[in-house]
């Protein structure tokens, strides 16, 4: 006996219903938000953080971060390979001295990280808080 195959339109309708079900839409939306947050953190936010750090330290220090990663439930941000460099002011006949500090990994608790994408005030507040924590970690290391 030959088993009966389902009708092609039945399979297509069943597949559409599966794709539009809440069990698929919610994880897909969450994954989209998570990926877009990580892309934003590694592209725009890293530059904003470096500019703010430079201004906050009186244009004497530079910040370089290899990558930023959001926590899976948007409760933290992890900064990898943070490099802090400073050029100390020199007198006329002296060579400039430069110091570098490297922090391998820094995880900062930050609830509601996803708000960075939608709120300018949350962006400014988080930038200040993260810069303060980077400076505190540097002081702790030294």
Which segments in the chain show pLDDT lower than 50? Answer: none
Largest Cα span, the chain? 98
- Looking at residue 60, its pLDDT comes to 87
pTM: 0.74
pLDDT tens, 34-49?
Answer: 999 899 889 999 999 9
CB burial class (10 A; 0-12, 13-18, 19+) of residue 117?
middle
Sequence-ordered alpha helix ranges (H) in the chain: 8-19, 22-40, 46-56, 120-141
- In angstroms, the Cα distances linking 125 to 12, 13, 86, 119, 134 are 48, 48, 24, 10, 14
- Looking at residue 93, its pLDDT comes to 58
- Looking at residue 88, its pLDDT comes to 63
Q: In this structure, are residues 116 and 123 in contact, taking their beta carbons and an 8 Å threshold? A: yes
3-state secondary structure of 102: strand
Distance CA 62, CA 55 (A): 9
């Amino acid at each position: 006996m030959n088993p009966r195959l389902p009708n092609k339109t039945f399979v297509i309708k069943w597949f559409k219903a599966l794709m539009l079900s809440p069990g698929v839409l919610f994880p897909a939306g969450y994954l989209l938000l998570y990926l877009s947050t990580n892309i934003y953190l590694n592209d725009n936010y890293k530059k904003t953080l470096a500019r703010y750090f430079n201004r906050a330290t009186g244009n004497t220090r530079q910040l370089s971060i290899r990558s930023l990663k959001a926590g899976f439930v948007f409760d933290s941000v992890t900064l990898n390979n943070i490099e802090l460099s400073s050029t100390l002011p020199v007198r006329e006949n002296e060579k400039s001295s430069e110091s570098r500090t490297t922090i391998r990994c820094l995880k900062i608790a930050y609830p509601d990280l996803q708000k960075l994408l939608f709120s300018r005030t949350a962006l400014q507040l988080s930038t200040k808080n993260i810069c303060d924590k980077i400076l505190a970690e540097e002081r702790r290391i030294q």
